[in-house]
Structure 1
Amino acid sequence: MKKAATKPKKVTSAYKMAPSMPEGMVLCDLMKNQWKIGAPVGSGGFGLIYLTQPASTAPVSKNAEFVMKIEPHENGPLFCETTFFQRVAKPDQVTAYMNSKGLKHLGVPKFGALGHHEKDGKKYRFMVIQRFLTDLQKMFESNNNTFPHHSIFIIGLQMLDTLEFIHSQGYAHADIKAANIMIGLKNSNQVFLIDYGLAFRFLVDGKHKEYKEDPKKAHDGTAEYASRDAHRGVWPSARGDLEILGYCMWQWLAGSLPWEGKIDDKNFVSNQKIRYMSNINSLIGPLIKNEASSKGLCGYLNVIAKLKYDEKPNYEQLRSIFKSTLASFGSKSSEKLDLTSKSVTATSDSKAQFQVNKTPLKGRKRILSEENDNKIDVMDTKKTKVALVSKYKSPKRIQVRLPSLAKKTTPAKSNNKSSAEKKKLKGLSSLKNLVVNNCNNNQVMVTGGQVVSPLVRKRKRNEINYNEDEDVNICSEAVDDDYVVATSKRVKRKNVPMAAIGTQTSPGLKGLPRSRNPINS
């Protein structure tokens, strides 16, 4: 997925917008290398961002590996950003640091070039950096404001490595957020921190800036994630960056932050952050429904809350917290970054979100299991097999597929079965994917989107009573000697066996979940 051309963002500050530049224009950088401008692929705060490549007679390729950012020469943010790259983040400096730390990846963009250009009597500054796939904010919004929890902690680990490098050079980023974290173009398992327009040098000649509150600088940065220091007008620092990262992860884990509804009231936002950070375990912990994730985030924030303004953070301690959280998911930092699947989220009691009817089938063992990584895996008991696909569009849905069923349920192979067995297999030859939803303990939605409510368990084993007068779509099971499968059919006011059908808990959720289509696996 590549960025589509968009209009420049509306800016309310004193900084000026750069006009659009024509495709094919050639600009010369400070090293006398020439760069040709291609099509716009996005927008920054003060102008469009263009594809670019070293100048040649050929037009700029759609697969170009670099982009160019252009702003009016008098604008401060791009000057600040280029200064950061020139001083401490040239490619050879980044490579040397990675080698010294034994890192295979560091989320600092590759710096390409810097230059100046005049057009129509006006002077502009431009910078060339590597191109990316998309940003986390777009991914977050397109994914219903959620990420798989294990992926959030993988991102956190990559950001810790990146911030440790930036801080070791005496700089703070000061504007960490999902919109400034990019997915790698060549490797989508890597993330990069971009936009150093607010980068601040807090360490000069080994001396840290003194803590000093300045009302004129209060609330700098992006209000949702700004540190408490930033709200007080204190210079950015390593402590502030790590706190901002904590707010970002909190939002990704919970879906939102408590102060988002009044984001324009900066004093309210500031007071809310002070309140929550003063009692992390009691106030923040319950907002994260996954117990392991809650423990990991709270552990991280508790360390940050105890940091002094000019104290050097213990990055290894912070990494160990994230790694321990990943281990509780059965995951590692080296795993692929999955930002769309929900197969790793879990409930507050550390059990997989997808739980099963604990009433066993007559004469059989439970056929569904909760295995490592919080996924529901295939399990064999005697000759019974159940295959569940754990990729799905929303954490409130699950897609059920039995890939080997067709071979076992064709009419030719079932003709020799008894009439009772044939009745059990009726309709299975046309079985398709079945989506089973659960809203809470009292309501269930299945394919077709109609509600079955209330859900009352009877004393008689394996039966559920539906007290509805109209027809409803429900799911039932069919059993033969080899398979136990979930099927869907339409019935009217009758008791239906429901043993071993997977359901999902949604703690704290009121009403029905939003209906979304499952991913095709």
Structure 2
Amino acid sequence: MPPKKAAPKKLHELAPEVRVGFKIDDISKKTYIVGKQFATGGFGRIHTCTEEGKSHQMVMKIEPSTNGPLLTEVVVFNRILKKEMIEAYKKTKKIPWIGLPYIIANGYFTYNGDKMRYMVIPKYATSLEATRESNGGTLSVKDSLTVANCVLGALEYLHDSDYAHADVKAANILLEKEGVYSTSVLVDFGLAHRTTNNVDKPDKKRAHNGTCIYTSTDAHRGNNPSFRGDVEILAYNLIMWITGTLPWLALESSPDKVFDSKQKFIAGLPGTLQNVLTSQSPAVVGCISTMFNVSMKTNYTDKVDMTKLKKLVTDTIQTSVGEAKKAQGKVKKATEDVSKAATPKKSTRKVMAIVESEDDDDNVVEVVPKKKVAKVQKPRKVMENESGGEEEVYIPKSSKSRKLKPEQDNSSLGSSTRSYSNRLGVTSSAASTVRAARKIEQKYKRLSTNKSSLVPVTVGDVSDDSEDDGAGTSSGARTKRSSDESVRNGVELKTPALVAPAVKSNHNANERLNYSCFSEAKYKSGISSATKASPTELRRVPGVRNFPKGRRSMIIKETASKYKEKRAARKSKPTFDDSSCSSEL
């Protein structure tokens, strides 16, 4: 009986775990310290690492020396992905960025008797796949197209170097900074293929090579990776990033069914694409559809015009951003319209006030709009002048006059009072008219009963008749003195401390009270004759102190002497009887 054949050795084995802190000496005489493992590749492990004596972190890929994928990747890096090569290409093309990594170090080391291969490249922030999953499985149209534009630039470099990537997917795209998609980097060149010897001759042994749901129809047939295949793979990825799914996603375990579904999808373009991208704009659908068309119309061994594709993607990004802003504006406007419709409009009707007409005997009610009346500053004190009118008097803060209590309403003030109030800018009303009339009535009641009342006082040369009893003076005959006469015959003192509360009235002929009674009463109720006859008492009158010092002494002297004579003369005359005033009132 022949001996049994030994089991075939596996082509690829998973690398053993390398402990943290293990040191690897490179041929460049640099030592790299292995850090924590944070991911696994197809058959290798991915660790962080640092150069001895430095803190800057890098990425180290480790696989058994017998594995092929890392060997292929090391070969690609050493041929076309050295840092100086990438910088030279950027200068030639006058571009600031290429989304490709560069090799830092590579070689072999022995760990627990096993020979291992390693490669060191720069470390990036995160993968696009992790970002997509954290966003709920999708990316925005703008972010997806931005990443696609970076990938097209990376593929252009690879194609110009006669290499096809063959495994574009979110897990193989890294972000330099988290959330920044304009500097995306295409990595993992384990399936990269040099296209110089490509022949359009399928081989079933190579069928379905790559990531099944993304790989190209060329790879499904068994052809080697191609330039057009990279564009087709990128188009599938865009659908996945934007929608979060693919029509054949559930068939991933059956590569033949996936291949058949892709063929039907491509044959039905652009309708099949529109059925998938139902909520996307025509610009986005047109961009991805064009990528499929370019891939299908390009010959197997020909290169794709990446410049046109990058321009197409850039224009689509600008268009989609503009459409998104318009859509946001429409949504905002619609929201505002809804809120306006839900919120009741404020009534624009004027507020009306109901006023009873005083002139109409039938008490007809008329409705008039309320008017805003400008606030007019009322004079602090109003006093009566010689002609029977009123004038505003400034009351200095230093005045020691006692505050007067506001009077009650009066009910008999005529039209002249209302007109005078209007001239002062004060709005008159029935209530204010009543109050003003009552003030006058109470004032003259006090005069008739010999109660003291604070009224304007005139100290000067007046006729004996008006000073004694007022009998020879008519009720309306009050003459206005000129300023010269005042200087000549006496000085008029309108003492703020002796001014009564304002009574805004102009008495007409029918309403004017007896002048003689008023004139005599104001002297009795203001400053007594004894005060006027005494220089000492006159000096205490606040108004007198407003005169210059020399003039004040002269006025006091003249006034005191004059009133001494009048008092002496008055003793021989009959006493003034106030009853006449009260009877007239």
Work out whether 1:174 is the aligned partner of 2:150: no
- Alpha carbons 1:225, 1:248 under 8 Å: kept: yes
Return the structure number with greater strand share. 1
Corresponding residue of 2:195: 202
Please report the TM-score for the alignment, with normalisation by the length of structure 2. Answer: 0.53
Check 1:363–1:287 CA distance in 2 against 1; reply closer, same or farther (3 A cut): closer
How far residue 120 of structure 1 moved from its aligned partner, in angstroms, is 2.0
Partner residue of 1:79? 71
Could you tell me which residue of structure 1 aligns to residue 308 of structure 2? 317
Q: Find the aligned partners of 1:132 and 1:268 in 2 and give their Cα distance.
A: 36
Shift of residue 45, structure 1, vs aligned partner: 2.3
- The DSSP-based 3-state class of the residue aligned with 1:330 is helix
Q: Structure 2 regions of 5+ residues with no counterpart?
A: 1-8, 344-585
CA distance in 2, matches of 1:22, 1:155: 35
Instruction: Determine if contact 2:231/2:291 at 8 Å carries over to the other structure.
Output: no
Aligned twin of 2:22: 25
For the pair 1:49 / 2:46, whether they are aligned, the reply is yes
Query: In the aligned structure 1, how far is the partner of 2:38 from the partner of 2:224?
Result: 33
1:65 aligns with 2:57: yes
Report deviation, 1:105. Answer: 1.3
| 4+ runs deviating over 3 angstroms | 185-189, 343-347, 350-355, 357-365
Task: Report the residue type matching 1:160 in the other structure.
Answer: L
Please state whether the residue corresponding to 1:70 is helix, strand or coil: strand
Higher relative helix content: 2
CA distance in 1, matches of 2:86, 2:330: 40
The answer as to 2:61 corresponding to 1:88 is no
Give the superposition deviation at 1:311: 1.5
State the Cα deviation string for residues 243-271 of structure 1 (Å, max 9, x = none).
Answer: 10110001112220000011111111001
Q: Tell me the matched-pair count.
A: 332
1:270-312 CA deviation, whole Å, 9 max, x = no partner? 0111111122211112311211321221122222221111112
Relative CO higher for 1 or 2, CA cutoff 8 Å, sep ≥ 6?
A: 1
5+ long unaligned stretches in structure 1 = 1-11, 332-342, 366-521
User: What is the rounded CA distance, in whole Å, between the counterparts of 1:293 and 1:172 in structure 2?
Assistant: 26
Distance 2:195 2:10 in 1: 24
Amino acid at match of 2:14: M
Code of the aligned partner of 1:275: K
Counterpart CA distance in 1 for 2:94 and 2:158 is 16
1:109 counterpart (85, 101, 121) = 101
How far did residue 121 of structure 1 move? Answer: 1.9
Counterpart residue number, 1:163: 155
1:299 to 287, 290, 293: 290
1:425-445 CA-to-partner distances (Å, cap 9, x unmatched) read: xxxxxxxxxxxxxxxxxxxxx
What is the distance in 2 between the residues matched to 1:176 and 1:201?
A: 16
- Please give the secondary structure, in 2, of the residue aligned with 1:23: coil
Shift of 1:358: 7.9
Give the match for residue 320 of structure 2: 329
Shift of 1:33: 2.1
Give the number of the structure whose alpha-carbon radius of gyration is greater: 2
- Post-superposition offset of 1:28: 1.8
Q: 2:269 aligns with which of 272, 280, 301?
A: 280
1:82/1:281 CA distance change after superposition, 3 Å: same
Deviation of 1:209 (Å): 1.1
Is 2:143 aligned against 1:151?
yes
Aligned CA RMSD, in angstroms, stands at: 2.7
1:298 is paired with a residue whose SS is helix
Among the aligned pairs, what percent are the same residue? 31
Give the letter aligned to residue 112 of structure 1. I
TM-score when normalising by structure 1: 0.60
Q: Which residue of 2 aligns with 1:247?
A: 236
CA distance in 2, matches of 1:353, 1:176: 36
1:16 corresponds to: 13
* Cα deviation digits, residues 97-132 of structure 1 (max 9, x gap): 111111211111121100100122211000000001
